[in-house]
Structure 1
Amino acid sequence: MAYEELSKQIFDNVGGDTNIDTAWHCATRLRFILKDESKANTEAIEALDGVVTVVQAGGQYQVVIGNNVGEVYDALVALDPRLGSVDEESAPTEKKKLTAKGAFDSFIGFISGSFTPFLGAMAGAGILKGLLSLFVVLHWMTPNTGAYQVWYAAADGIFYFLPIILAFTSARQLKVNQFVTVSIAMALVYPTMVALTSSHNQINFFGIPIVATTYTSTVIPILLVVFLQKYLEPLFNKLWHESVRNILTPLCVLMILVPLTFIVVGPISTAISNALAGLVLMLYKNVRIISGLVLGGFWEVFVIFGVHWAFVPVMMNNLTKWGYDPLVPILLPAVLAQAGAAFAVFLKTKDEKMKGLAGSNTITSIFGITEPTVYGITLKMKKPFYCAAIAGGIGGAIVAASGVHANSVGLVSVLTIPTFISKGFGISLIGDVLAFILATVFTIMWGGINDSKQPAVAASTAGVKSESKNQVSSTPQSRAETILSPLTGQVISLKDVKDEVFSSGAMGAGIAIEPTEGVVVAPADGTIQMVFPTGHAVGLLTDNGAEILIHIGMDTVQLDGKGFEILVKKDEHVKAGQILVKFDIQTIKDAGLQITTPIVITNSKNYDEVNVMAKGEVKQKDLLLDLE
C-alpha cells in the first residue's frame, strides 16, 4: 500500500484535522494527541494494511506502523502541513476537564512529544560517545588527537546544546512561538553567561542576585520556561495590536523570561534536579538489586502504556548532575529479553510465517526496536511476554548489582554497550547475555508455543499487516470441508494477483476471481467475523473452522464505501449462498482500480492441503476449494 493512501486512511479515521490536536512519530509509531479519542475509528485503523496495532496510553493515540513510520508521517504532513509546523493558530480550542489522570497523561504526552523528534540523533551521538570511550580504553586513540576532538564534538554537541533542541520541540508541543523559546535557551547557554556561572562570579540583575547555575546539557530549566511562556505569551498577544504583535510579543517575552529564568527558574530547577538525583542515588545505593529487578522486569510494560517517557528527564538529569546515568544499562536486559523470547518462537514454531516474523524481530529487538516484537509476537501470545519480563528482571538485577553506568543517554540497544564502559562493566555484560538466554529458554519451556501449527500473527517488522489480524479463530481445530464460489466470474491463480500481500501467500492459500457480477454470497455456513464499513472486504468463520477472507478488488477501500452495499453485520450467522455484499463493478473500474477478488483461507496452515477445484468460468455456489 502506498504511504499516501495509508496516511490518508489513518488521517480520516482518527477524525481528520478537526479532531487532531497534534501529531509526531517515534521509531515505530505515529503519535496523536486527539481532542476526542472516542471519535477515532480504532477498529478500522487496526484493519489497515500497514498498521500493526493501535495503543491508547499516556494521553496519546498511538498507531504502530513499524520501520516505515517516517514515510507515513511525511505523507500525513503533506495532507495537513499544520502537523509539521505547529503554530498558535493550530492550538486546540476545546478545554478538557483537569483530573489527576488527565494531568499525568498530558505530562507524559508532553515529555514524549518533546524528546521523540531528536531521539534518533541523540542515540547516534550517544553511541559515538561510547565508541570514543572504547577507542581510548583500547589505546586506539587519545583525547589529544584531532580525530578524537572532532568526533567528540560531534558526539557531545547535541548533549551540550540540549536546551536549544528541547526548546524547539517542547515549544511545539505547547504551541508557543518556537523561535522565542529557542532564543531563551540560547541565552542560557550563551558563552558569556556560561563563563560567568562556571566561574561562580556574583552578578545581579538591577540589584537582584543571580544564582550561579550551569544550563548546558540541562532538561528541567527549559521545560519550566516553556510552561511559563505558555501563559505569558497569550497575555501579550492580547495586549498588542496584530500589526505589531509579531515583534512586540517576542520582545516582551524575552525581556521578562530570560532574567526570570536566571533569577527564579534556575534555582528552582536546580532544587528539583538535586532532589531527583538524590532520590535516584538513594534507591540505587540502598535497594539497587530491587530497582534493577523492577526496571528490568517492567520496562516493556512501561513502554506499552507510554509512561517510560517519564524516566527520560530523570536520566538526562542524572547525566547533567553526575556525568553518568545508572538507569540506562539496567534497561538493556529488558530489551534483550524480548529479543530472546522472539528467538525462542523462531526456533520452536513450525509456522513459516511466524518463523519469519520472529526471526526478523529478534534482530530489530537486539538493536532497540521492541514494539513490533511486543505487539506482533510476545504480547499477543502472552506467555512469551511473561517469560521475557522475568528474564529481564533477573538480568536487570545483575546489571544493577554490578554498579555499571552509562556516559550518555539514547536508544537502549546492543549499540549502547560501549557507553557502559565503567566499573562493573564485565558483570553487566553477564546480566545482558543471561537475560537473552533465560528469555529464550523460558519461552521454549513455558512459552506455550505450539510447535506443530501455530496460527500466524498478522504483524511485521516493516509494519505490513494482514487484514485477517482479528480473525484468529477461537476454534481449536479445523475440519476438512469444501468451499463454494462466492462470485460469478473468471478464476485466476492467487499468485497472479497484482498485490504482493496476496500473491506471496502471506495472507494464506486460496484463489482469486475476476467477477462479472457484483454480488458476493457466503461460500459456506458460518459466522461473519469481520465486515469492513467500506464493504470492500468480508471475513467469515465457517462452522467447520475455516477462516475465509473475501477482498473485493484491489485498494477498493479508498472508495470509502461508494458502490458497495453491505447486507450482513458482524457476528451474524449466515448460510451458504446467502448474499453478503453487493457492489458496482463499473464504479470500481471508473476509479481506475482492479476488480480482482482474492478468496483466501487465512488459517490455511491448519490444513494439509488447500486444493483449487475450479478453472476458467465459475458461477456462484460452484465448488471452488477443497480443504483437507
Structure 2
Amino acid sequence: MKHEQLAKDIIANVGGKENVNSVSHCVTRLRFKLKDESKANTEALKNHNGVVTIMKSAGQYQVVIGNHVPEVYQAVIQEGGFQAAKPVEENDNEQKQGIFTRFIDIVSNIFIPILPLLMATGIIKGFNSMFLALGWLENTDGTYLLLNAIGDGFFVFLPIFLGYTAMKKFGGTPFLGMAIAAALVHPSLSGISDGESIMTLFSGTVFESDIQIAFLGIPVVLMDYASSVVPIIIATFFAAKVEKFFVRIVPSVIKSFFVPFLTLLVIVPLTFIIIGPIATWAAQSIGQGVVWVYEAAPLIAGLVVGGFWQVLVIFGIHWGIIPIYYNNLAVMGYDTLIAMTFAASFAQIGAILGVLILTKNQKLKSLSIPAFVSGFFGVTEPGIYGVTLPLKKPFIMSCIASGVGGAIIAVTGSALYSAGPLGVFKIPTFIDPVEGINFGFWGMIIAIVVAFVLAFVLTLFFGGVNQKQEVTAQDTNNDDEEKEVKNVSQEKIVSPIKGNVLPLAEVPDEVFASKAMGNGIGIEPMEGRVVSPVNGTVTTLFKTNHAIGITSENGAEILIHVGMDTVQLEGKYFTAHVKQGDQVSVGDLLLEFDVEKIKEAGYPIITPVIVTNSIDYNGIDVTTEKTVREKDVIIQTIR
C-alpha cells in the first residue's frame, strides 16, 4: 500500500481512469495509451517526487518510475481498476504501431549499425577534400588516391552494408542481403550502360531508357546502384518474404543451400528488371523534390528545418529524414537538407554555456560542463535532457538560434558533400570536392558562430534561469517543497561485469544517457556473467532475464540492464540464477548470457549499471577506469 498515493496521483494527472485505454509496464516505466494526451498534466507528473520524468513516444505516454515500477504498476492497476497487461520493454516495437512509427523503427534499425563507419569514413573524405582545397595534395597524388579510397569505398559499396542490416531487420538471412547488393554493384555491369542500345523503353517520357541487355528476353534497365540506398532496402524487404516462402517448402536435407539459391534466382533478376529502376526513379524524384522546395524558399526552409530539428531528435522522428539525406548524397552528390540542421548542436552548447554562467545550482553546473563538451562534438542529448529541456526556455532559445543558423546555411548555399560525424568534425564535409572552399563553406562557418552566440545571448537575457526554476532530470521537485533526503550511509558498489567502461552519456538509450534514471556507468561485457554488486535483495527480475534490480542493505537501488532492446530475444541466450526476493552477497552469480549470440542477433551488448535512487544522495562518484573486473569498485555514493 506504500505506493497507493503515488498511483492515485498518476491516474489523476493522466486525465483520470476514464482517459486510459490501457496501461502496461517495462523495467523502468509505466506505459499508458491515453484517449486524449492533452488531458494529461505532464508538468505535475514531472515535478512529482515519485516520478523520474515523462516520455511520449510511439503513441504511448510513458511515466518513468525506476526499477520498482512493478510495485507501482500493481498499485495503479488496483487503484484504477484496469486490466493487467503483458509487460513490455524499453523502446520495444508493438505489433499495432502506426505506419509512420513502424517506418521510423525500420529506418533506425537499418542505419544505426553503420553510422559509426559512415562517420569515420566521412571524416577521412572531408579532410582529404580540405587537403586538396588548401593545395597540400593534388588529385593525382598517391596519398590523395589512397585516402579517397578509404573515405569513399564504404559509401560506394554502401548497398552491401545496407543489404546486411536491412535483411536482418526484415527477418531474413543477412548475408543473403549482402549477396543481392553485391550483384547490384558488380563491376561487369557498370560500363554496359554506355554500350550500344538494343531498344528504347518509355520513349518521350521522363523515364525514357536505352536498353543494352535483356534477361530471358525481358529488357533490363541498367542503373548505377553504387552508393544507392532505396533499391537495396526495397529488394531485401521482398527477399525476406521470398526466403521465408522457400524455407517452408524446401526439404530440410537441401535447405541450407537451396533456399539461398532459389531466393537469389528470383530476387536479383526481379530487382534489376522492376524493383531497382522503380526505386531509383522514386529516389531521384525525392531528391529533385527536396531541391525544388529548397530553391523555392531557402530562407523559410532553413528556419523551419533548423528550428525544429532538435524537437524531431527528441522524439526520434529525425530518422524519417535520414534516408533522404543519404539518397541525396547518392543521387546528386551533395545534400542541403541535413546541412540546414548543422547549426543546432552549436546553438545547444551556446544555451548550455548561458545556463552554466547564470545558475547557482551546483548540480546543474556539474551537468552543464560535460554537456557543453559533448555538444561541441555533436552529442547534444546530455545537454538537451539534462540541462536545457528541463529548464524549457533555454531549449526554446537554442531552437530559435538553430533556426537562424539554418536560414544562413540555406541562403548561402551551404551543402554537405559526404556523410560524416557530428559537431566540429563535420566541418570538413562541407568542402566541395571540385570547387574547394567556396562561399557556401564560409556561410556554414558564419551560421554556426551566429547560432552559438545568439543562443548564448538569448539564454542570458530571456532564458529564465534562476535558482527557483532550476530543475534537472535528476532533481525535479515542486518549487515550494524541499525533497526529503534519506539518511543513507556512504557505500561502495562493485562491478557486476568484467568489461570496458564507457560514460553513461554514450549508452545508446536517451533515458539512460540523460541520467534521467539515475547516475551510473555503462559496461561493454567481455564475459557473459552478471554478479551481485552489493549485499542485498533481488527486488526486480524481468521475465526475459535481461534486466535485474537489487536493493542493497544500505538502501542503494541498483539496476543492471544487459544490452539494448534485448527483451526482443524473449529470454533466449539468458539464464537467471536467482529469483525475485532472493538475498544475495557481493560476487554471487545472478545471470549468465551469451555475448556473441546476442551480438550476432544484432543487439548492442552495452550494459548500464544505474543507481536509480541517485536523488537520495548528495553525489554519486563513478570510476574513471577504462576496464573493470568483477568486484572492482565502480560507484561510490556520497551521503
In 2, distance between residues paired with 1:149 and 1:591?
A: 54
Other-structure match for 1:345: 355
Residue 142 of structure 2 is aligned to residue 146 of structure 1: yes
Which deviations, in whole Å up to 9, do the C-alpha atoms of 1:212-232 show, x marking residues without a partner?
210000000001101111221
**1:415 alignment partner, one of 403, 422, 425:** 425
**2:555 alignment partner, one of 512, 531, 552:** 552
Q: CA deviation at 1:54?
A: 8.2
Q: Tell whether the 8 Å contact from 2:158 to 2:227 is kept in structure 1 after alignment.
A: yes
Other-structure match for 1:397: 407
User: Secondary structure of 1:424's match?
Assistant: helix
Q: Tell whether the 8 Å contact from 2:242 to 2:263 is kept in structure 1 after alignment.
A: yes
**Pair 63,177 (structure 1): closer, same or farther in 2 beyond 3 Å:** farther
Residue 58 of structure 2 is aligned to residue 43 of structure 1: no
Which deviations, in whole Å up to 9, do the C-alpha atoms of 1:556-586 show, x marking residues without a partner?
99987626xxxxxxxxxxxxxxxxxxxxxxx
Residue 274 of structure 2 is aligned to residue 259 of structure 1: no
Q: CA deviation at 1:372?
A: 1.4
In 2, distance between residues paired with 1:292 and 1:158?
A: 30
User: Secondary structure of 1:38's match?
Assistant: strand
Please report the RMSD computed on the Cα atoms of aligned residues, expressed in angstroms. Answer: 4.0
Other-structure match for 1:569: none
Residue 325 of structure 2 is aligned to residue 315 of structure 1: yes
**Which piece of structure 1 moves more, 409-418 or 550-559?**
550-559
Which deviations, in whole Å up to 9, do the C-alpha atoms of 1:2-24 show, x marking residues without a partner?
xxxxxxxxxxxxxxxxxxxxxxx
**Pair 293,199 (structure 1): closer, same or farther in 2 beyond 3 Å:** farther
Q: Tell whether the 8 Å contact from 2:377 to 2:423 is kept in structure 1 after alignment.
A: yes
Other-structure match for 2:299: 289
Other-structure match for 2:455: 439
**2:389 alignment partner, one of 372, 375, 379:** 379
**Pair 187,63 (structure 1): closer, same or farther in 2 beyond 3 Å:** farther
In 2, distance between residues paired with 1:340 and 1:276?
A: 34
Residue 233 of structure 2 is aligned to residue 233 of structure 1: no
In 1, distance between residues paired with 2:486 and 2:186?
A: 76
Q: Tell whether the 8 Å contact from 1:344 to 1:443 is kept in structure 2 after alignment.
A: yes
Q: CA deviation at 1:307?
A: 1.4
In 2, distance between residues paired with 1:592 and 1:212?
A: 62
Other-structure match for 1:457: 472
Residue 283 of structure 2 is aligned to residue 279 of structure 1: no
Other-structure match for 2:216: 206
In 2, distance between residues paired with 1:44 and 1:560?
A: 22
Q: Tell whether the 8 Å contact from 2:486 to 2:616 is kept in structure 1 after alignment.
A: no
Q: CA deviation at 1:350?
A: 2.1
Which deviations, in whole Å up to 9, do the C-alpha atoms of 1:328-352 show, x marking residues without a partner?
3211111211111111111211222
**Pair 110,406 (structure 1): closer, same or farther in 2 beyond 3 Å:** same
Q: CA deviation at 1:133?
A: 1.1
Q: CA deviation at 1:44?
A: 8.5
Other-structure match for 1:223: 233
In 2, distance between residues paired with 1:484 and 1:305?
A: 34
Residue 581 of structure 2 is aligned to residue 562 of structure 1: yes
Other-structure match for 1:357: 367
Residue 183 of structure 2 is aligned to residue 184 of structure 1: no
In 2, distance between residues paired with 1:557 and 1:188?
A: 44
Residue 497 of structure 2 is aligned to residue 498 of structure 1: no
Q: CA deviation at 1:356?
A: 2.2
Residue 343 of structure 2 is aligned to residue 336 of structure 1: no
In 1, distance between residues paired with 2:122 and 2:228?
A: 16
Other-structure match for 2:442: 426
Q: CA deviation at 1:284?
A: 1.0
Q: Tell whether the 8 Å contact from 2:391 to 2:469 is kept in structure 1 after alignment.
A: no
In 2, distance between residues paired with 1:535 and 1:127?
A: 43
Other-structure match for 1:102: 98
**Pair 168,599 (structure 1): closer, same or farther in 2 beyond 3 Å:** closer
Q: CA deviation at 1:125?
A: 1.0
Q: Tell whether the 8 Å contact from 1:188 to 1:194 is kept in structure 2 after alignment.
A: no
Q: Tell whether the 8 Å contact from 1:42 to 1:54 is kept in structure 2 after alignment.
A: no
The one-letter code sitting in structure 2 at the alignment partner of 1:165 is F
Other-structure match for 1:536: 551
In 1, distance between residues paired with 2:113 and 2:60?
A: 15
In 1, distance between residues paired with 2:444 and 2:330?
A: 23
Q: CA deviation at 1:282?
A: 0.5
**Pair 227,53 (structure 1): closer, same or farther in 2 beyond 3 Å:** farther
Residue 192 of structure 2 is aligned to residue 193 of structure 1: no
User: Secondary structure of 2:409's match?
Assistant: helix
How many residue pairs were aligned?
449
In 2, distance between residues paired with 1:283 and 1:392?
A: 20
Q: CA deviation at 1:476?
A: 2.8
Q: CA deviation at 1:175?
A: 1.2
Q: Tell whether the 8 Å contact from 1:108 to 1:310 is kept in structure 2 after alignment.
A: yes
Other-structure match for 2:82: none
Residue 169 of structure 2 is aligned to residue 173 of structure 1: yes
**Pair 396,193 (structure 1): closer, same or farther in 2 beyond 3 Å:** same
Residue 262 of structure 2 is aligned to residue 249 of structure 1: no
In 1, distance between residues paired with 2:374 and 2:179?
A: 38
Tell me the TM-score normalised to structure 2 length: 0.63
Which deviations, in whole Å up to 9, do the C-alpha atoms of 1:482-531 show, x marking residues without a partner?
x9979xxxxx6x4xx32499xxxx999xxxxxxxxx9xxxxxxxxxxxxx
**Pair 156,599 (structure 1): closer, same or farther in 2 beyond 3 Å:** closer
The one-letter code sitting in structure 2 at the alignment partner of 1:336 is F
Q: CA deviation at 1:160?
A: 0.1
**Pair 142,278 (structure 1): closer, same or farther in 2 beyond 3 Å:** same
Other-structure match for 2:16: none
What does 1:7-46 correspond to in 2, within 5 Å? 38-43=24-29
**Pair 167,534 (structure 1): closer, same or farther in 2 beyond 3 Å:** closer
Q: Tell whether the 8 Å contact from 2:162 to 2:229 is kept in structure 1 after alignment.
A: yes
Which deviations, in whole Å up to 9, do the C-alpha atoms of 1:253-310 show, x marking residues without a partner?
1011111111111210122012101110101110111111111011111111111111
In 2, distance between residues paired with 1:322 and 1:298?
A: 25
**2:131 alignment partner, one of 129, 132, 135:** 135
In 2, distance between residues paired with 1:146 and 1:384?
A: 49
User: Secondary structure of 2:214's match?
Assistant: strand
Identity %: 36
In 2, distance between residues paired with 1:147 and 1:130?
A: 14
Residue 57 of structure 2 is aligned to residue 57 of structure 1: yes
In 2, distance between residues paired with 1:398 and 1:179?
A: 44
The one-letter code sitting in structure 1 at the alignment partner of 2:409 is V
**Pair 358,228 (structure 1): closer, same or farther in 2 beyond 3 Å:** same
User: Secondary structure of 1:340's match?
Assistant: helix
**Which piece of structure 1 moves more, 278-287 or 230-239?**
230-239
Q: Tell whether the 8 Å contact from 1:499 to 1:554 is kept in structure 2 after alignment.
A: no
The one-letter code sitting in structure 2 at the alignment partner of 1:41 is V
In 1, distance between residues paired with 2:559 and 2:130?
A: 54
Unaligned runs of 5+ in 1: 1-35, 47-51, 65-93, 459-468, 487-491, 509-517, 519-532, 538-549, 564-586, 606-626
Q: Tell whether the 8 Å contact from 1:351 to 1:453 is kept in structure 2 after alignment.
A: no
Which deviations, in whole Å up to 9, do the C-alpha atoms of 1:34-63 show, x marking residues without a partner?
xx99342333999xxxxx978563589999
Unaligned runs of 5+ in 2: 1-21, 32-45, 47-51, 65-92, 198-211, 432-437, 496-514, 520-536, 538-547, 562-577, 590-610, 620-638
In 2, distance between residues paired with 1:408 and 1:329?
A: 11
**Pair 194,137 (structure 1): closer, same or farther in 2 beyond 3 Å:** same
User: Secondary structure of 2:191's match?
Assistant: helix
Q: CA deviation at 1:447?
A: 1.5
In 2, distance between residues paired with 1:289 and 1:140?
A: 35
The one-letter code sitting in structure 1 at the alignment partner of 2:246 is F
Q: CA deviation at 1:598?
A: 14
User: Secondary structure of 2:219's match?
Assistant: strand
User: Secondary structure of 1:498's match?
Assistant: strand
